[in-house]
């Protein structure tokens, strides 16, 4: 995930912009890096404007013609994967005016679109030049051309839904943020929203951008939600149908997010791991997450599914020369099947290390049954596997 921050400041406020960026850089982690082999061409264009002279020049007997306006730069714009521009005028309708309160002809937007700009930011000091109707008309016109945009919103609901603006291109996921220092003294009319520079809000928006990572959605929202379902089931407020419904929803969400998860491409020949939910247990959401995570790290994972007898697990591990067997169990009634696997490994001379996990499993249980490792979640499971394979 890359985060792009667009701050609309005058040159006089450069020092202020620098200090804002210093403040915010603390909240961006050093791990938000990208692989140098991936390429994304970004073009940023400042201030698409329409002064009175430009409006007059575009006027024809039937309307406004901007067809030649971007002729000399169109090719350059087209070379960018994402051509992002600051729309520094409103499309507030007639009468069309230039400085100091801009309202450009609608044809200007069509020309911008035809020129190849595919993202617009709209929070700047001219956002409110035509007040409420100007802000809303501008957004409606941009929406009508399906151009993604950020910065000004009709109301809170729209902002919540569309901001931070998530852009996906060439396998990159980019969160675009846009703010302005002010709107030339014109106050915004509720429920409209202009993103003004406010470091507390920007930090919150950055946090939200980071939470748009698919693995964060799984860890922070989906798993938290399914655990809550478990609590409600415990409290007899939810029953089996709700449990099944929640599990199905979780599966759909994970299937949707899976292609977006980061993958290690440079894995080469990696060890084989055999993973299964033990016999008698059909809980496989957690096991599937563990499988997904390990596969994403490049391991050769054999997923044996759920309700798997220990003889099948150990037999497969021996046949496939697995470095590790990973076992999942969610019920107190099935966790003892893990001990059976450890025992059978010894009996059959299976060299695989055994790791275990699942909501009811603890480190002390792992020690008790002689397992080689335990982890509380899928992310830690990757570290556990790395550690065990290094020894
Ligand atoms: C969803 C769910 C179901 C779904 C399962 C769907 C599916 N495809 O998995 C359905 C509706 C089918 C179901 C059925 C039942 N369930 Co149920 N279920 C749950 C629930 C709500 C969530 C489980 C879950 O998916 N959690 C989310 C995942 C992501 O977490 P996780 O599995 O713990 O996995 C993470 C870690 O533990 C770890 N991990 C997991 N596996 C592994 C493996 C390794 C090697 C490692 C290192 C790490 C690791 O990483 C994972 C990712 O971070 C839990 C409540 C709970 N809080 O656990 C009850 C719960 C597990 N179910 C329970 C029960 C009783 C049942 C039923 C018996 C109900 C019934 N009366 O029929 C049946 C069981 C049938 C059977 N034979 O298995 C009880 C178990 C009680 C107990 N302690 O024994 C629980 C705890 C609910 C409760 N509070 O009473 N259930």
Q: Is any atom of ligand 1 closer than 6 Å to the C-beta of 332?
A: yes
Nearest CA to ligand 1 atom 28: 286
Mutate to test the pocket of ligand 1, among 276, 282, 286, 328 (most ligand atoms within 8 A of CB): 286
Ligand 1 mean position to 289 CA, how many Å?
13
Q: Is any atom of ligand 1 closer than 6 Å to the C-beta of 254?
A: no
All residues at 6 or more sequence positions from 300 whose CB lies less than 8 Å from its CB, including other chains: 270, 271, 272, 273
pTM of the model: 0.62
Q: Is any atom of ligand 1 closer than 6 Å to the C-beta of 373?
A: no
Ligand 1 mean position to 107 CA, how many Å?
58
Pairing of strands 2-8, 42-48: unpaired
Ligand 1 mean position to 343 CA, how many Å?
24
Q: Is any atom of ligand 1 closer than 6 Å to the C-beta of 290?
A: yes
Residue 230's pLDDT band, with cuts at 50, 70 and 90, is confident
- Per-residue pLDDT at 33 exceeds 70: no
The angle subtended at Cα 67 by Cα 61 and Cα 70, nearest 5°, is 140
Q: Is any atom of ligand 1 closer than 6 Å to the C-beta of 159?
A: no
Q: Is any atom of ligand 1 closer than 6 Å to the C-beta of 248?
A: no
Nearest CA to ligand 1 atom 32: 286
The terminus-to-terminus CA distance of the chain in angstroms comes to: 33
Are 183 and 127 in contact by the 8 Å Cβ rule? The answer is yes
Q: Is any atom of ligand 1 closer than 6 Å to the C-beta of 324?
A: no
Q: Is any atom of ligand 1 closer than 6 Å to the C-beta of 360?
A: yes
Mean pLDDT, rounded, for 77-81: 95
- Per-residue pLDDT at 25 exceeds 60: no
- Per-residue pLDDT at 80 exceeds 90: yes
Task: Give the residue with greater pLDDT, 37 vs 329.
Answer: 329
CA 342 distance to own-chain centroid: 39
How large a percentage of the chain has pLDDT more than 70? 88
CA distances from 340 to 27, 311, 346 (A): 47, 9, 10
Which atom in ligand 1 lies closest to the alpha carbon of residue 355? 45
Nearest CA to ligand 1 atom 44: 357
Q: Is any atom of ligand 1 closer than 6 Å to the C-beta of 388?
A: no
Mutate to test the pocket of ligand 1, among 215, 227, 230 (most ligand atoms within 8 A of CB): 230
Q: Is any atom of ligand 1 closer than 6 Å to the C-beta of 225?
A: no
Residue 369, preceding peptide bond in cis (omega within 30° of 0): no
Q: Is any atom of ligand 1 closer than 6 Å to the C-beta of 282?
A: yes
Residue 30's pLDDT band, with cuts at 50, 70 and 90, is very low
pLDDT at residue 40, rounded to an integer? 87
Least confident of 5-14, 120-129, 152-161: 5-14
Q: Is any atom of ligand 1 closer than 6 Å to the C-beta of 331?
A: yes
Cα–Cα dist 133/94, whole Å: 12
Q: Is any atom of ligand 1 closer than 6 Å to the C-beta of 356?
A: yes
Q: Is any atom of ligand 1 closer than 6 Å to the C-beta of 222?
A: no
Q: Is any atom of ligand 1 closer than 6 Å to the C-beta of 218?
A: no
Q: In angstroms, what is the C-alpha Rg of the chain?
A: 28
- Per-residue pLDDT at 24 exceeds 60: no
Residue 34's pLDDT band, with cuts at 50, 70 and 90, is very low
Mean pLDDT, rounded, for 192-212: 90
Ligand 1 mean position to 372 CA, how many Å?
22
Which atom in ligand 1 lies closest to the alpha carbon of residue 282? 78
């Amino acid at each position: 995930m890359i985060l792009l921050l667009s701050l609309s400041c005058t040159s006089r406020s450069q020092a202020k912009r620098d200090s804002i960026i210093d403040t915010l850089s603390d909240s961006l982690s050093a791990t938000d890096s990208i692989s140098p082999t991936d390429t994304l061409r970004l073009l940023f264009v400042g201030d698409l404007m329409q002064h009175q002279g430009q409006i007059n020049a575009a006027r024809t007997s039937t309307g406004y013609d901007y067809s030649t306006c971007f002729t000399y730069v169109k090719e350059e714009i087209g070379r960018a994967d994402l051509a992002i521009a600051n729309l520094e005028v409103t499309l507030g309708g007639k009468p069309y005016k230039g400085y100091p309160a801009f309202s450009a002809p609608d044809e200007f937007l069509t020309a911008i679109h035809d020129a190849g700009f595919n993202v617009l930011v709209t929070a700047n000091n001219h956002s409110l030049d035509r007040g409420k109707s100007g802000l809303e008309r501008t957004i409606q016109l941009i929406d009508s051309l399906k151009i993604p945009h950020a910065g000004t919103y009709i109301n809170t609901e729209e902002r919540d839904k569309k901001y931070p603006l998530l852009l996906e291109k060439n396998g990159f996921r980019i969160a675009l943020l846009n703010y302005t220092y002010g709107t030339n003294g014109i106050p915004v009319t509720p429920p409209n929203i202009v993103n003004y520079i406010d470091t507390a809000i920007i930090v919150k928006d950055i946090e939200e951008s980071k939470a748009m990572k698919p693995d964060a959605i799984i860890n922070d929202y989906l798993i938290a939600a399914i655990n809550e379902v478990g609590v409600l089931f415990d409290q007899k407020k939810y029953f089996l149908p709700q449990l099944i419904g929640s599990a199905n929803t979780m599966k759909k969400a994970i299937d949707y997010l899976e292609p977006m998860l980061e993958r290690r491409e440079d894995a080469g020949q990696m060890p084989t791991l055999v993973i299964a939910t033990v016999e008698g247990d059909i809980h496989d959401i957690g096991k599937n997450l563990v499988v997904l995570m390990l596969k994403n790290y490049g391991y050769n994972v054999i997923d044996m599914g759920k309700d798997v007898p220990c003889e099948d697990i150990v037999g497969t591990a021996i046949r496939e020369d697995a470095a590790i067997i990973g076992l999942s169990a969610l019920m107190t009634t099935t966790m003892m099947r893990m001990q059976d696997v450890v025992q059978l490994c010894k009996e059959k001379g299976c060299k695989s290390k055994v790791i275990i996990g699942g909501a009811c499993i603890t480190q002390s249980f792992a020690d008790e049954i002689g397992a080689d490792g335990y982890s509380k979640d899928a992310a830690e499971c990757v570290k556990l596997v790395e550690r065990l394979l290094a020894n």
